[in-house]
Amino acid sequence: MALIGFNFTKINVEKKKAANGKVSITNNLNFASVKEAKVNFVDKKSALGVEFEFKCNYEPSIGIIELKGSAIELMEPKEMKESLELWKKEKKLPPVVAQRILNSLLSKCYIESLILSNSMNLPPPIPLPKVKVGAKVKK
C-alpha cells in the first residue's frame, strides 16, 4: 500500500583509491529481516517492518558504499499475514509486496548513494544522463 516509515541506521562509505580506467559498479539490496510493526494511528491496517542492507561495490577495489536501515510498509491484514508466513518459510516476500517495497527502498538508497559518491569523489553508482552537442538529425 504505502511506505509510512523509513530511516537509515548505518552509513559507511570508503574510498580505497582513485578511479582509473574501467570501473565496474554492482548494486545490491537485500532484506535482512521482516516482522510485524506496531502502528497506533491506523485502523484496520497492518504494517510490515523491514530491515534492509544496500551495497554499492566498486571494482577493481576502488571503494564501497554500504547503507543499512529500516522501513515500515502499510498493508491490508490478509496481505500482511501472507507476507509474514512466506518470510518465515522461505525468507522471501510475495512478488507484488517485494516489488513495491524494493522500488521504494531503491529510490531512497540510490539518491543517498549518489550524494555520498559525489562527496567522496567516487563514480556515481547509477548512470547519469549525458548531453551530446552536435549537428541536428535530419528527419
How confident is the model at residue 91, as a pLDDT? 94
pLDDT of 139 > 70? The answer is no
Q: Where are the beta strands (DSSP E) in 38-85?
A: 46-59, 63-75
Residue 54 in domain: yes
Residue 139 in domain: no
Total domains in the fold of the chain = 1
Which of 16-20, 101-105, 123-127, 128-132 has the highest average model confidence (pLDDT)?
A: 101-105
* Set of cell numbers at residue 70: 529500516
Closest CA to 114 of 131, 128, 135, 103: 128
Cβ 36 vs Cβ 46: under 8 Å: yes
Residue 33 in domain: yes
* Set of cell numbers at residue 85: 508466513
Residue 72 in domain: yes
Residue 130 in domain: no
Q: What is the pLDDT of residues 79-123, one digit of tens each?
A: 999 999 999 999 999 999 999 999 999 999 999 999 999 999 999
Residue 125 in domain: no
Q: Is 83 left (phi over 0), alpha (psi -120 to 50) or beta?
A: alpha
Q: What is the pLDDT of residues 48-74, one digit of tens each?
A: 999 999 999 999 989 999 999 999 998
CA–centroid distance for 31 within its chain:
10
Residue 124 in domain: no
Residue 138 in domain: no
Cβ 120 vs Cβ 13: under 8 Å: yes
pLDDT band at 44 (very low <50, low <70, confident <90, very high): low
Domain range spanning residue 72?
Answer: 2-119
Alpha-carbon distance 72 to 7, whole Å?
9
Alpha-carbon distance 12 to 10, whole Å?
7
Q: What's the predicted TM-score (pTM) here?
A: 0.85
